[in-house]
Amino acid sequence: MTTIAASPEPTIETKALPNATITVEGKSYEFPVIVGTEGEKAIDTRNLRSTTGYIAFDEGFGNTGSCLSDITYIDGEKGILRHRGVPIEQLAERSTFLCTAYLIIYGKLPNRPQLEAFRDKIRNATALHEDFRHHFQGFPPSSHPMAILSSMSNALGCYYPEMTSNDRERDLEYFDDAAALLISKVRNIAAMSHRMHAGLPYNYPRKDLRYVENFLHMMFSEPYDDYEPTPEVTQALDLFLLLHADHEQNCSTSTVRMVASGGANLFASVSAGICALWGPLHGGANAAVIRMLQDIHDSGDDGSKFIEAAKSGKARLMGFGHRVYKNYDPRAKILGKAAERLLNSLGKTDALLDIARRLESAALSDEYFVERKLYPNVDFYSGIILKAIGIPVSMFTVMFAIGRMPGWIANWHEVALNNKRIYRPRQIFTGPVKTDYVPIDQRC
Ligand code: CMC
């Protein structure tokens, strides 16, 4: 067990703003106002029910702050994304995935020795226990890689009982090791699920390779042919992972925090996050975008029929829209350019990129999309990059999961360090009122 750096704890910046007043049934109640470091305001309703008897109803949590967090800041109106204060554009241009992972998990950019120590820790954690092969053999060949990834991330914890005690203090003692293990081994599990699915022999990791190269080796090397990516491929994949590293309280991260709030260990919490990511409205969107673009291409449509179908509610323009961004998702801008750069470097063209560009410009000038402030999100161009690298569509959301691992880990850590209460929302019951039990022979 080694400690790399201490993690900061979230802080409540309460500026002296007047209380908010809520009036119900003619009675007024005052609630304090919380202000974030970027000026985001919230009415602190933690005592709402105990003082008024009412709860807040906010299906989908569009207006609910579920936590205080120091990790990631988004201004959806302005299209701003920052990790620990550092703008995503600067990270994309000057950082790497592992350096960004360190920033997200430990709260500051690492100096050289810290980064080297972090890299070494991840490199030394690469090998999977040999028994994992048996776990893989237990899955039918039809298994989706996301189902395998989620199960195996939880199974991984079984090999490290000292890190998965569900005793917060103990699990926190091993946090650095557990974080490095997950960031490292998620690649092996991902690559093994691909090899299994394709009926190919598994590749052992190589300690001489860096993070992304090692993953690509495990994915694509053959016993008779070592895979050597071009620097542009490595760089594009590193950028893809970096841009997915965290995104505050999205569906999967909230799931990780929810599970963590009950005291569950990091491995179990991340495994739940992977399941949450799988759906097409969240991380599954990257695969759905490529299928959509392929269908448009195969049907001979230039995109205009599809736009009409999306407007009429018959189809959904996947990779468009976002709960928080009401402006361009900055990650989509960066990925759109990166997709073009990668294709050029490989001397390839992709008709799907042309269709994506046409859909984007049609949507951005169409009243339906403009009115609803629907812009391309991170998933719109990312699949073009993954496809150009040769990653199968069934693995796209797995790639998202590899990238999101630092964010899940950092969020688990915040909960484990600071959260004293289990996450437990309430509901408004709309079912039948008290109904007496009817014996079986009297039921119609
Ligand atoms: N295509 C067509 N119409 C859309 C789209 C879309 N992609 N997204 C939203 N709308 C419409 C929606 O029908 C609604 O219209 P109306 O007001 O007439 O009912 C309006 O825009 C508001 O949409 P919403 O569904 O209330 O928005 P939301 O915040 O609940 O959902 C979303 C956000 C991302 C789930 C949604 O925009 C969507 O389904 N997008 C496509 C799937 C996608 O790309 N998901 C990836 C999200 S980003 C990465 C990640 O988190 O994993």
Q: Model confidence over 232-259: pLDDT tens digits?
A: 999 999 999 999 999 999 999 999 999 9
Q: Is 282 in the pocket of ligand 1 (CB under 6 A)?
A: yes
- Which CATH number covers residue 56? 2.20.28.60
- pLDDT for residue 6 is more than 70: no
The pLDDT, as a whole number, for residue 174 is: 98
Is the residue at 256 inside a domain? yes
Same domain, 185 and 219: yes
Measure the CA–CA gap between 278 and 263, rounded to whole angstroms.
23
Confidence of residue 12 (pLDDT cuts 50, 70, 90): low
Å from CA of 342 to ligand 1 middle: 28
Domain membership of residue 124 as a residue range: 82-281+398-418
Q: What is the mean pLDDT of the chain?
A: 94
Measure the CA–CA gap between 22 and 384, rounded to whole angstroms.
49
- pLDDT for residue 414 is more than 50: yes
- Which CATH number covers residue 219? 1.10.580.10
- pLDDT for residue 1 is more than 80: no
- pLDDT for residue 3 is more than 50: no
Is the residue at 71 inside a domain? no
Is the residue at 442 inside a domain? no
Is the residue at 161 inside a domain? yes
Same domain, 346 and 300: yes
Choose which residue among 274, 290, 322, 399 to substitute to test ligand 1 binding: the one with the highest number of ligand atoms within 8 A of its C-beta: 322
Is the residue at 72 inside a domain? no
The last residue of one of the domains, among 352, 372, 389, is 389
Measure the CA–CA gap between 295 and 297, rounded to whole angstroms.
5
The pLDDT, as a whole number, for residue 2 is: 42
Tell me the mean pLDDT in the region 12-24.
Answer: 82
Q: What is the pLDDT of residues 386-397, one digit of tens each?
A: 999 999 999 999
Same domain, 116 and 248: yes
- pLDDT for residue 13 is more than 80: no
Measure the CA–CA gap between 252 and 404, rounded to whole angstroms.
9
Q: What is the pLDDT of residues 262-308, one digit of tens each?
A: 999 999 999 999 999 999 999 999 999 999 999 999 999 989 999 99
267 within 8 A of 377, measured Cβ to Cβ: no
Percent of the chain as helix, strand, coil, to the nearest 5: 55, 5, 40
Tell me the mean pLDDT in the region 161-190.
Answer: 97
Q: What is the pLDDT of residues 305-319, one digit of tens each?
A: 999 999 999 999 999
Is the residue at 215 inside a domain? yes
Measure the CA–CA gap between 98 and 118, rounded to whole angstroms.
8
Å from CA of 55 to ligand 1 middle: 27
Is the residue at 427 inside a domain? no
Helix (H) or strand (E) holding 21: strand 20-24
Nearest in space to 69 (alpha carbons), one of 98, 40, 33, 49: 40
Is the residue at 186 inside a domain? yes
The tally of domains found in the chain comes to: 3
Tell me the mean pLDDT in the region 380-405.
Answer: 97
Measure the CA–CA gap between 361 and 377, rounded to whole angstroms.
14
